[in-house]
Amino acid sequence: MKEKRGQVTIFIILAIVIVAVGVLVYLFYPKIQSSFSLNTDDPSTYLRNCIRGDLEGVVNDVSLRGGNLNPGDYFLYDDEKISYLCYTNQNYRPCVMQYPLLEQHISEEIKINIIENVDSCFDGLKENFENKGYEVKLKKGETIVELLPKRVIVKFEHELSLKKGENVLRYGGNDNRMISVALNNNLYELISITNSILNFEATDGDAEVITYMDYYRDLKVEKKKQSEGTTIYVLTDKNNGNKFQFASRSYVLSSW
Amino acid sequence: MVKNKRIMIGMVFMIFLIGGIMAVGEVSFCCERMKTVSGGAGLWCQNAPLEECYGVGGGEFQAIPTSCESTSYCKLGCCHNLNEGTCMKNTPQANCNDESGGVWSDDSTCDIPQCQLGCCVLGGQAAFVTKTRCNSLSAIYGLEINYREDIQNEAECISTATSKKEGACVFEREYKLTCKKTTQKECNELKTNDEYSNVNFHESFLCSSDKLGADCGMSEKTTCVDGKDEVYFVDTCGNVANVYDYDQRNNPLYWEEIQPSSCEFDGGNGKICGNCDYLDGSTCKESKIGDLRPALGDYYCQDLGCEVPDDIFELMHTPAGKVTTNKKIKHGESFCVVAGTQGELLDGVVEIYRDEENAITTIDGSSAGSGAKITEGITEVDVMGYDKLELLRDKYNLPGSRHFRMICYDGEIIVEPCADYREEVCIQSSMDEKGDEFLTAKCRINQWQECATQTTVKNCNDRTKRDCIWFDGGGLGVCVPIYSPGLKFWEESGESVCMGATLSCEREYLKDINTAFQGHLEKGSTCGDEKWKQANKIYSMLLGDCGVKRNYLGYFGQDQGATLEVESGDWEHGTKVGNFGFG
């Protein structure tokens, strides 16, 4: 009888230990994963892992706020500050285009808001390889953000050389091994559609959402007219839920 | 009576006049850039007071006391992006940055050669864009530039991309004669590969054709194809064949050549026909548990229509009602809902149909068995009686109510609010499409502003020009809005419209020298009587959010809203004036 009780106790303790380990793994897994992934011998992989999270966050926030991370002129919609991309403060007048080169503006906005993290990632990269016994030379260069169909690419014109013994590995500069980080995102496509809607807003003060959904089947376009004459457009990619939101105020009627 | 109307019209003009004077009272500048809330550089080219303009003191940006339309620095034009090929209208020159590839031209509509659109064919895709953008896209995809200026609309452009001629590419591989459905170009590429021999392309043929002698045959499998709507048969080699049609499953002729579908999907024959059409409201989908099970294969035409959900008013963020109808709405259809109705139609879908051609407005609240349906056409109801007007007054156009356009798309209802304060109204009509009714709705401007100035029944009821209806009101004879506007009645602008209902009439008494204070009534016996008061009360409510009304949530206003004032007249001339007003 005593033996049986002892066995049961052991099983209970074992079960508690297993559960505790499970809980710890669950709680700390992301940290464990990130510390593993940053501890790599490939500089590109290191940078990708270091930059990706911040890049995703910035791209997402910029998209939800009409192309500006901290909009100066905005409409507050669902607790989000949404930039006016076309605006007039008058009634019965067409809006004035505020960002005619929207794609370039958004590229620049993303760049400005990731640059600090990019710098610290390169510093971390240098330190990481120095700790592994490499002689590291890092010449910092420009960071370029490109919006392309179905992806956002961040390229670094940094030059990095890693030397250990006689072996020298070079990255960036004129070398073909330019360091870059790519993010699957269709911001490029959503900006194209935004430009088209804005041209309708500038001429008619309105755009028909069904037309866009007929042509682009993975796209959902919502138009939300607000009380003081602002229209919020929400473009959603149905495949991945990516959104781009912006505000326009054009041909406003008299009551406002 | 004539005097009443004159006073009323005069007041309406006064309202606009006062508004105009107020508008020009403050000197407005054309700010090249405005200040943001935080004081930084903000919006381009807005008319505003000088203190709201940015960078004027330092000479960075300009501001002169005139409208932006009259300035050179805020002249609007077209900004053409040399790198991306986009063209943006209504852009001020200074905001079209040449360092970023912007080129400005003096045509705000972008009707310039650089902005002409054509069809850019990119492999299996196409985009209706400018030539510059086509060059840019082709470079990104690493494709040869194929720009078709002869194609002048987007639909034709997109269909061009998918119209590549395909056929059966028969080849020998590992001593076996087999086949792949592809284009001639791709088939020719196999000829350069040593693994393949005896490569031959047979345009328009299917690999399952007996004539080709390949090892591919008929099968009962089906599939969906990327970029296409229909369900397709698949042959035994895995090649896509013709559109799924149960009746053709064993017909060798149907498996011989690429041919149009032999069946027509009608919404009810999804088990046996895979000829779905996205624009018609169906698309290919894998059948899962609970879905329709096709007679062959695992794919079927999914209906993209919508059921009007019970929580439709929650979607619109208003607690005003609940939908009890289970009406099925087709993919692409749009319909109107007016949120915020009271009375017996509280729990019903209230739909306002507007047949512009026949000038018929139907207000339908016939759900939940209430059966309330009112049709107002100008031929039938040129002059509104009390019963219908009371309906407009009590159940529609209540303070806070709003029109919504609902769009059914891809199985989902998208809510599109029309402009608030009923500045826009939702207008619904139905088109006959292949013998089937198809609903379309649109938010359009509520043309109520001219109602008060119409003095004849004919002009008032001219629906091509305005949304007004004649209110006889027991001889009052006034023109009122069909969709009375929402007003900011707590502000001056709202008050001024409601003041339009402040009317006066005259009673004439003959002074009796034998009595102290009451003369004999000579004229105006109806002035200020109960009927007169009632007509004016209704009139004030029909003007807009005036008078005592329930709001869209069912609550009454706080103030009395309407008062009757009788002023002492000039007894010397035997006249006494009664003023009747609502606020």
Q: For the stretch B93-129, what's the b/e string if a residue is b when 16 or more beta carbons lie within 10 angstroms of its beta carbon?
A: bbbbeeebbbebbeebebeeebbebbbbbbeeebbbb
The partner residue sitting opposite A100, judged by closest CB among B38, B79, B140, is B79
pLDDT of residue A31: 42
Q: Is the confidence at residue B547, as pLDDT, over 80? A: no
- CA-nearest of B184, B166, B170 to B215 is B170
| Three-state DSSP class for residue A130 | helix
Question: Do B311 and B450 share a domain, yes or no?
Answer: yes
CA-to-CA distance for A128 and A159, rounded, in angstroms? 16
First to last CA, chain B: 22
- Indicate whether A2 pLDDT > 80: no
Output the pLDDT for position A17: 78
Query: What would the pLDDT profile of B379-436 be if each residue is shown by its tens digit?
Result: 233 344 445 555 555 566 778 888 888 899 998 889 899 988 888 888 877 777 666 7
Please check the confidence at residue B96 and state whether its pLDDT lies above 90: yes
Q: What is the pLDDT of residue B570?
A: 52
Per mean pLDDT, which range of A118-127, B79-88, B333-342 is the poorest? B333-342
Name the closest residue on chain A to residue B79, using Cα atoms: A100
Tell me which range, A100-104, B131-135, B544-548, is most confidently predicted by mean pLDDT. Answer: A100-104
B84·A86 Cβ contact <8 A: no
For the beta carbon of residue A8, count every other beta carbon within 10 angstroms.
Answer: 10
For residue B20, the model assigns a pLDDT of 41
The pLDDT score that the predictor gives to residue A126 is 92
Pairwise CA distance, residues A9 & B535, whole Å? 90
Question: What's the CA gap between B510 and B505, in Å, rounded?
Answer: 17
Q: Examine residue B195 and state whether it is found in any structural domain, yes or no.
A: no
Residue B468, in any domain of the structure: no
Q: Between B315 and B113, whose confidence is greater?
A: B113
The predicted model gives B266-291 an average pLDDT of 89
> Which chain A residues have a beta carbon less than 8 Å from that of B424?
225, 253
Residues of A in contact with B42 (CB under 8 A): 72-73
How far apart are the CA of B366 and the nearest CA of chain A, in angstroms? 28
For residue B246, give the DSSP letter: G
Nearest to A213 among B158, B409, B416 (CB): B409
Whether residue A100 and residue B43 make contact (CB cut-off 8 A), yes or no, is no
Residue with tokens 């009707």: B111
Residue B223 lies in a domain: no
Q: How many whole angstroms separate alpha carbon B146 and alpha carbon B472? A: 67
Interface probe with A: pick from B68, B86, B276, most Cβ of A within 10 Å? B86
B209 contacts chain A (CB < 8 A): no
Whether the Cβ atoms of residue B431 and residue A235 lie closer than 8 Å to each other = no
**Which two structure tokens, joined as six digits, stand for B389?**
């007007």
- Residues of B (99-158) whose Cβ lies below 8 Å from A: 100-102, 109-110, 137, 140-141, 154-155, 158
Q: What is the pLDDT of residue B564?
A: 53
Above 90 in pLDDT, residue B476? no
Tokens of B574: 């035997």
Q: Could A255 and B485 be called an inter-chain contact, meaning their C-beta atoms sit closer than 8 Å?
A: yes
| Residue B192 burial (CB count, 10 A) | 8
Domain boundary among B18, B41, B74: B74
Tell me the residue range of the domain where B43 lies.
28-74
pLDDT score of B22 = 42
In the predicted model, is pLDDT for residue B8 greater than 80? no
Q: Residue B487, class by beta-carbon neighbours within 10 Å (0-12 exposed, 13-18 middle, 19+ buried)?
A: buried
CB pairs under 8 A between A and B: 140
Over residues B130-147, the pLDDT tens digits come to 999 999 889 888 888 889
Non-local (6+) Cβ contacts of A129 within 8 A are: A43, A136, A162
Among the residue ranges A157-166, B446-455, B557-566, the one predicted with the least confidence is B557-566
Q: Which residue has the higher pLDDT, B444 or A187?
A: A187
Confirm whether B467 is domain-assigned.
no
- What would the mean pLDDT of B299-321 be, rounded to a whole number? 67
Least confident interval from A20-34, B163-177, B453-467 = A20-34
Q: Does B438 share its domain with B559?
A: no
Q: Which phi and psi (to 5°) does residue B462 adopt?
A: -80, 95
Cα B50 from Cα B56, distance rounded (Å): 9
- The residue in chain B having the minimum alpha-carbon distance to the alpha carbon of residue A199 is B89
Residues with Cβ < 8 Å from A127, sequence gap 6 or more?
none
B360 within a domain of the structure (yes/no): yes
Mean pLDDT of chain A: 87
Give whole-number Cα distances, B93 to A199, B23, B133, B496, in Å: 16, 28, 21, 41
More confident residue, B435 or A181: A181
Instruction: Over range A156-184, report the average pLDDT.
Output: 82
> Distance between CA A123 and CA B244 in Å, rounded?
60
Q: Which residue has the higher pLDDT, B241 or B508?
A: B241
How many Å lie between the alpha carbon of B35 and the closest alpha carbon of chain A?
9
Q: Determine the pLDDT at residue B21.
A: 38
Look at chain B and report how many structural domains it folds into: 3
pLDDT of B440 reads 85
Residue B222 confidence (pLDDT) above 80? yes
Give the pLDDT confidence of A112-153 residue by residue, as tens digits.
Answer: 999 999 999 999 999 999 998 899 999 988 999 999 988 999
Task: Quote the tokens at residue A113.
Answer: 């808001």
Rg (CA), chain A: 25
Q: Where are the alpha helices (DSSP H) in chain A?
A: 2-38, 43-64, 102-131, 187-204, 209-215
Residue contact B34–A86, C-beta within 8 A? no
CB A40 within 8 A of CB A49: yes
**Residue A106: band (very low, low, confident or very high) from pLDDT cuts 50, 70, 90:** very high
Cβ B443–A225 below 8 Å, yes or no? Answer: yes
Task: Copy the structure tokens of residue B128.
Answer: 């209706």
Give A-chain residues touching B102 at CB under 8 angstroms: 100-101
Q: What would the pLDDT profile of B9-38 be if each residue is shown by its tens digit?
A: 444 434 443 444 344 456 899 999 999 989
Q: Inspect the interface and report whether the beta carbons of A101 and B102 lie closer than 8 Å.
A: yes
pLDDT top residue among B232 and B291 = B232
Six token digits for residue B579: 């003023």
Strand residues in B184-220 grouped as ranges (E) = 197-203
Domain ranges for chain A, please list them: 1-38, 39-249
Chain B interface includes A111 (CB < 8 A): no
pTM: 0.78
- Which residues in chain B are closer than 8 Å to A195, comparing Cβ atoms? 86, 88
CA B56/CA B465 separation, integer angstroms: 45
Model confidence at B532: pLDDT above 80? no
**Whether complex ipTM tops 0.85:** no
**pLDDT in the model for residue B393:** 55
- Chain-wide mean pLDDT for chain B? 77
- The answer to whether the Cβ–Cβ distance between B423 and A255 falls below 8 Å is yes
Say whether both B491 and B441 belong to one domain. Answer: no
| Weakest-pLDDT range from A53-62, A195-204, B116-125 | B116-125
d(CA B569, CA B560): 25
Instruction: Look at the alpha carbons of A109, A110, A116, A118 in this order and tell me if their dihedral is positive or negative.
Output: negative
Of A87, A89, A199, the CB nearest to B88: A199
> What share of chain B in percent tops pLDDT 70?
74
Q: Is residue B7 part of a domain?
A: no
Residue-wise pLDDT for A64-75, tens only, equals: 999 999 999 999
Last residue of a domain, one of B74, B90, B106: B74
Ranges assigned E (strand) in B14-137: 29-35, 41-48, 63-64, 76-81, 87-92, 102-105, 118-122, 125-129
Q: How high is the pLDDT of residue B313?
A: 53
More confident residue, B358 or A69: A69
DSSP B362-425: EEEE-GGG--EEEEEETTT-SEE-HHHHHHHHHHSS-TT-EEEEEEEETTEEEEEEPPTTTTEE
Are residues B448 and B491 located together in one domain of the fold?
no
B443 and B312 in a common domain = yes
CA neighbor of B553 nearest in space, from B390, B403, B399, B367: B399
Chain B residues touching A94 at Cβ < 8 A: 90
**What tokens were used for B468?**
């007004």
DSSP state of A167: E
Tell me which of B472 and B242 has the higher pLDDT: B242
